[in-house]
């Protein structure tokens, strides 16, 4: 967004499926990149011995951490589906059903989210 656009009220036209697919892909990508160092740190606890790792894993059993894990898995599913969608746009012949692709990606992320929620509840 340029300063000029803000000044004149001339906003680039947004608010359609393709744009929201981009927003979800970008946010999930940045969140996953931020999570990776934490993930490696967690794995590194194994090097410091069984007790350290078990202690950490018990901490992750807390409901709030479980909820955060769930969010992470949904983000991963959304990012995976979004990435496949982009590869399809760029390397397969064009399909006019682009909004269907966006819906399929969102559906996949929802499916994974619900499956994970069932698993956590079970």
Partner 1 sequence: MKETTLAMSVWRGDAAGGAFRDYRVPARPGQTVLDVVTWIQRHIDPGLSYRYACRVGMCGTCAMTVNGKPRWTCRTLVGTVAPDLRLSVAPLANLPVVKDLACDMTQFFDKWRRAEGRFQAAPGSAADFAVVPPESAARQAADAGIECIGCAVCYAACDVVSWNPAYLGPAALNRAWTLVNDVRDGAQAARLAAVAGDAGCHACHSHQSCREHCPKQLNPTAAIAGLKRLATLAALKGEI
Which residue's CB is nearer to partner 1, number 22 or number 70?
A: 22
Please state the closest distance from residue 83 (CB atom) to partner 1, in A. 12
Joined together, the tokens standing for residue 118 give 């069932």
Under 8 Å between Cβ of 70 and 121 = no
Selection from 93, 109, 105, 111 nearest residue 17 by Cα: 105
Radius of gyration of the chain (CA): 19
Binding site for partner 1 (CB under 8 A): 1-2, 4-5, 7-14, 16, 18-19, 22, 86, 89-91, 94, 96, 98
What is the closest distance, in whole angstroms, from the C-beta atom of residue 96 to partner 1 in the complex? 8
For partner 1, the closer of residues 16 and 66 by Cβ is 16
Residue 18 or 49 with smaller CB distance to partner 1:
18
**What is the closest distance, in whole angstroms, from the C-beta atom of residue 76 to partner 1 in the complex?**
21
Report the half-sphere exposure of 40 (CA within 13 A, side-chain side): 5
How far apart are the C-alpha atoms of 1 and 22, rounded to whole Å? 16
Nearer to partner 1 among residue 18 and residue 107 (C-beta): 18
């Amino acid at each position: 967004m340029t300063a000029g656009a803000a000044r004149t009220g001339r906003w680039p036209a947004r608010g359609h499926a393709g744009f929201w697919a981009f927003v979800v892909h970008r946010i999930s990508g940045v969140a996953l990149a931020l999570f990776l160092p934490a993930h490696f740190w967690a794995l590194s606890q194994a090097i410091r011995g069984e007790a350290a790792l078990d202690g950490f894993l018990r901490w992750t059993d807390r409901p709030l951490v479980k909820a955060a894990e769930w969010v992470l898995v949904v983000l991963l599913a959304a990012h995976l589906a979004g990435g496949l969608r982009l590869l399809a746009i760029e390397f397969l012949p064009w399909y006019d059903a682009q909004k269907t692709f966006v819906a399929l990606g969102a559906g996949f992320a929802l499916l994974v989210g619900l499956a994970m929620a069932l698993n956590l509840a079970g």
